[in-house]
Amino acid sequence: MAEIGANEVDYLLLHPFSLMSLEEKLEVKKLGAHHPKDLKMSQKDTRQNRSFCVSWFQRKEWLTASQAKKSLFCFPCLLFGGDTAWTEQGVVDLKHLSDKIKKHECSTSHIGNGVKLTMLGKVNIACQLDEGHRFAVQRHNELVKKNRHSLSRIVDCIKFCGAHELSLRGSDESSTSLNRGVFLDLVDQFSFLDSQLADHLSNTQVAKYTSKTSQNELLDCMLSVYEKKLGDEISQAPFVAVQADETTDVARVSQCVIVLRYVTECSAVERFLSFSPLVDRTAEGFEKLLREKLQPYKLESKLIAQTYDGAAVMSGAASGLQARLKETFPHAHFVHCYAHQLNLIIQQACSCLTPVRIFFANLTAFATFFAKSPKRTAVLDEVCGIRIPESGQTRWNFKSRTVHTVFEQQNSLKACFEKIQNSQSWDSVSVQQAHGLSTLLEDEDFIFFLEFFHAALMHVDIFYNTLQKRTTDPLNTGQALMNFSRSITGLREQLIKDDCHPNAPRRMQRSGCVSVATQCCSIMIEQSKARFEKARHLMSFELINPELFSQFKASFPQQQLDVACEHFPMICKEKLKGELMVMYSSAEFAVLTSAVTLLKMLIENNLQNTFSETLKLTQIAITTPMTSAESERCFSTLKRIKSFLRSTMGQDRLNALAVLSIERDFIQKSPDFNEMVINLFASQKNRRAELLFK
């Protein structure tokens, strides 16, 4: 994409001339009005078709045009303000263009703006002689510097509250209140360390910018600045992927979260886009919302992946969201979230066999027993020094934590139950249940399944933790899946081997425990093959898997190459094949370990042009998300921000606070964030405090 000049209309519409420094203004004046040579404007009516003639630019030097809007503007008025038709909307009426130009040239605003542009940068003799004027400007700029410093500290306080998900406002914000809110108390604390802020708060009566209205305006500005920076990052990214999910917040509003993933600085980043209320929860409703949110970023040729859960409204191949979105974004291939699929696999393995269902029902009783009574919890803390996690319905790793805790604390739990049974201070129900659970810990079948699932779910946790990483990509996900299948297969073989051993424990030779456990392993393995069977386009990423380079050197992977070029037509097949053949036979590439290391090597050694097609495929692979875990993390933030006590906030405030929390690292690393917020805040309307330099 060609860089937009500072004197072009599209640039000036996004970057107001009034907010520029003097050096930037003089640069725009030096460049003059932009006259696009390839401007194509036409107008049809009943008599004839009209086209814009570029000779107008020679006849009227002040005339300029927008390539994006296909409309004409006045250069001086665009800089200093004037008739909205010539400064904001643009003139498109070619039939009456001559009359409109004559009328505009006669207007006082146009003539005045022409004088301003001509005199910009020239020193007025009167100003040279007027010492008082120079002093007034100097004093104004000093005041502006102080005001901007104080406002920047206030912005820092809002950023701090947002980053730590603290409520800004208190129940009573008056000076005599004992609960003024975290924000006002934090501003007071800042004032003890910052004399300029203290002076601002003590001497300013009407423009302190700490009121709820100012908070909302500053939050709106922060959100706008974040969205601009996000847009700038996306414009530089070669490819983009989208994740989306939906939940219901505490106010019973259906919230859809949208997350974008792309490559920056040789690694993948996942950026929060927005929470949006979802009235229509059908595939059509999701599609309309996503199109609306993605439209400003112009992703038609960049969107290469979309990742959701397995709900039919999202993943439906005929009329689901992914199929509908692919009509506009043909290269946005769907990936069913691997974390959701892993959860379904373990649920399937542990719910279809009666002995296993009985085991987990009994296991749940341990957490339930202690959770129902503070007295029971106290004795658990005293004897074991650890709590037993309760099982979750949507996160299998919660259930694995229960298994691991009970397995590791068997002896401590026995001592705890024995203490309850032997004490006279406990009620009969507690004694009865403690006796039952104590007996359960002596049951051979229960202990067998406890040991088995302790071993099996350790491998599940390893796989699950890999899927939760923001940096996960198809290559390391595939490796983690292979390790998981290999571990479960090894566990099954070990069970069979131990059961056949002549010295096997009695419980290994009785009932059907071993048979049930091996069936569980078989279900996990078969379900993994079925559910994680690679989508066809994921096969193409094997081309850049360093672990396969030696294999591909002996036998070139033509099938994977065909798949890659079929699904990603922006890649040149012949050039990619040549690059890969060189890469497979090169010792420098053989030592790489992942797609990320390959990308770093290409960029750090300035090989982007030499391996241009390999670079594209690597960027696509790293951009493709394998899970929607970031969406789940956003929902956790939503629950902390929009709580029972803060359930009536507006959607814009919710998004602004969510950005400050979710993307706090991104905001902290933006050195000009506060300056951009203050510039936008100052330009929105006439402020009582001076915030703009002369």
Asked whether residue 123 carries a pLDDT value surpassing 60, the answer given is no
pLDDT band at 240 (very low <50, low <70, confident <90, very high): very high
Q: How far apart are CA 463 and CA 91, in angstroms?
A: 59
pLDDT at 97: 87
Give per-residue pLDDT as tens, 406-432: 999 999 999 999 999 988 888 899 999
- With cut-offs at 50, 70 and 90, classify the pLDDT of residue 505: low
Q: Up-side HSE of residue 654: CA atoms within 13 Å toward CB?
A: 26
Whether residue 180 contacts residue 168, with contact meaning beta carbons closer than 8 Å, is answered with no
Beta strands 49-51; 42-44: pairing state: antiparallel
How many whole angstroms separate alpha carbon 100 and alpha carbon 52?
14
How far is residue 90 from each of residues 39, 86, 298, measured CA to CA in Å? Answer: 14, 5, 22
Place of tokens 């039939």: 95
Six-digit token string for 549: 């380079």
pLDDT band at 235 (very low <50, low <70, confident <90, very high): very high
Query: How many other CB atoms are found less than 10 A from the CB of residue 40?
Result: 9
Question: Residue 37 pLDDT more than 90?
Answer: no
- How far is 387 from 416, CA to CA, in rounded Å? 12
Share of the chain above pLDDT 90, in %: 41
**Is the model's pLDDT at 128 over the cut of 70?**
no
| Residue position matching structure tokens 């690292």 | 665
**Considering Cα of 111, then 112, then 115, then 120, what sign does the dihedral take?**
negative
Residue 543 and residue 580 in contact, taking contact as beta carbons nearer than 8 Å:
yes
Q: Residue 181: pLDDT above 90? A: no
Which of 83-97, 607-621, 657-671 has the weakest average pLDDT? Answer: 83-97
Unique residue bearing structure tokens 């419980």: 507
The arithmetic mean of pLDDT across residues 569-590, rounded, is 92
Task: Report pLDDT for 673.
Answer: 94
One-letter amino acid of 231: G
Q: Domain boundaries in the chain?
A: 9-122, 129-210+663-694, 221-330+641-647, 344-531, 536-623
Q: What is the pLDDT of residue 160?
A: 94
Q: What is the DSSP string of 372-433?
A: T-HHHHHHHHHHTSSPPPPP-SS-HHHHHHHHHHHHHTHHHHHHHHHHHHH-TTS-HHHHHH
Rounded Cα–Cα distance for residues 44 and 48 (Å): 6
Note the pTM of the prediction, 2 decimals.
0.75
Average pLDDT over residues 104-120: 88
Distance of CA 694 to the CA centre of its chain: 39
> Picking from 10-24, 36-50, 645-659, which range would have the lowest pLDDT averaged per residue?
36-50
Q: Which residue has the higher pLDDT, 2 or 533?
A: 533
- Whole-angstrom distance between the N-terminal and C-terminal Cα of the chain? 35
CATH of domain 221-330+641-647: 3.30.420
- What is d(CA 332, CA 334) in angstroms, rounded to the nearest whole number? 7
